[in-house]
Amino acid sequence: MIPSLFYIVNFWGGGLSKDPQIWGTFGDYFGGIFNPILALANLIIFIKLTLIVADMQDKSTQQALNYEKKILTSGLMHDSVKELSEALNSLGQKIIANRQQTDWEVLRVQQTVTTFGNNYTHLFIDIDNTDLLTALNNLLAVVRTRPYSQQNFVTSFDTYLNAKDQYIQKLHHQTISKLEN
């Protein structure tokens, strides 16, 4: 409205003209004033919309990356728990089948638990494998004793089984909660 007001104040001479040339000049005046203003407004709006779309894409990409990270981490957690669980269960089965030849199996499982503790426990928040290692060491001490004390073996083996079951349950719970968060 301000450019129209300037035009009217400076060029209003006595009413509306019937001359097309004057109207053409009037149109050129408004085109010269409003076209740069509209072009600048369009440029500002275009830049603003581009920034909004880029921000939305960044947020979407970050959400997708976070989701994929959760999936990959929980997959790694699941695989490590599965490997550990198989080793722990294998030891139990071999001890039940043949107590006399389990030294090597106990050492192998102890190494598996230690490796798990060193390589994967950072994925499992608030999980400590000390109880399981203690139960394994106690079982190892009983297994290596010749001749076996049946009562000590049963007690150590029960402690091992309880520690193993509780540990695996905690690990599974952590794996599931990783996906839920």
Domains of the chain: 70-180 (1.20.120)
Please report the pLDDT score of residue 12 as a whole number. 67
User: Taking a C-beta distance cutoff of 8 angstroms, is the pair 70, 181 a contact?
Assistant: yes
The amino acid sitting at 163 is A
Alpha carbon separation from 137 to 6, 39, 41, 109, 131 (Å, rounded)? 96, 79, 76, 10, 10
Please report the pLDDT score of residue 39 as a whole number. 95
Please report the pLDDT score of residue 145 as a whole number. 64
Q: How many CB atoms lie within 10 A of CB 25?
A: 13
pLDDT, mean of each 10-residue run, the chain (181 residues): 71 71 82 90 97 97 92 86 84 69 74 82 75 73 65 75 81 78 69
User: How far apart are alpha carbons 13 and 24 in whole angstroms?
Assistant: 16
Alpha carbon separation from 98 to 58, 93, 102, 130, 175 (Å, rounded)? 59, 9, 7, 27, 33
User: How far apart are alpha carbons 51 and 62 in whole angstroms?
Assistant: 16
Please report the pLDDT score of residue 101 as a whole number. 57
Please report the pLDDT score of residue 42 as a whole number. 97
Question: Which residue is it, tokens 């190892």?
Answer: 140
Please report the pLDDT score of residue 38 as a whole number. 93
Please report the pLDDT score of residue 149 as a whole number. 66
